[in-house]
Amino acid sequence: MQLHVKRLTPTATLPARATENASCFDVCADLDGVIHPGERMLVKTGLAVAVPPGFEVQVRSRSGLALKQGVAVLNAPGTVDADYRGEVGVILMNHGREPFAFKRGDRVAQIGVYRVEMCAAVEVEVLESTARGAGGFGHTGT
């Protein structure tokens, strides 16, 4: 399988794996910017992708940015659907205490290709019961 990638600008950096067995590709910003503490920004990559049918691309945070600077993908994982052909953007949030400055070509996120099981949503009158039932947020304790 291949992930087809198109540069939308001449300055866009192609996705690359940092190591041979890395599960995701690093993606880079295609602009310079600053995200102040508590702010978010849509960071353009200058790339479009053609995801094979039955798959999606997930946009994820880079662990080093999250740990060292408090910068993470806000809607992680972000999804790029198989039928989307527009620019891949990364919504970054600065949870840190200092402004986060980045330059064109800096690695800002990572993307991976994942299988998606396509199914129909069917309305029913009753759902099958489970031991957990409707227990939700925090129901199992601390």
pLDDT surpasses 70 at 127? yes
Contact (Cβ atoms closer than 8 angstroms) between residue 22 and residue 63: no
* pLDDT tens digits, 67-90: 999 999 999 999 999 999 999 999
Indicate the pTM of the whole model: 0.87
Contact (Cβ atoms closer than 8 angstroms) between residue 105 and residue 13: yes
With a pLDDT cut of 70, the percent of the chain lying above it is: 98
Position 134 scores a pLDDT of 80
Q: What is the mean pLDDT of residues 13-31?
A: 96
List Cα–Cα distances, 124 to 73, 101, 128, 133, in angstroms.
35, 50, 10, 17
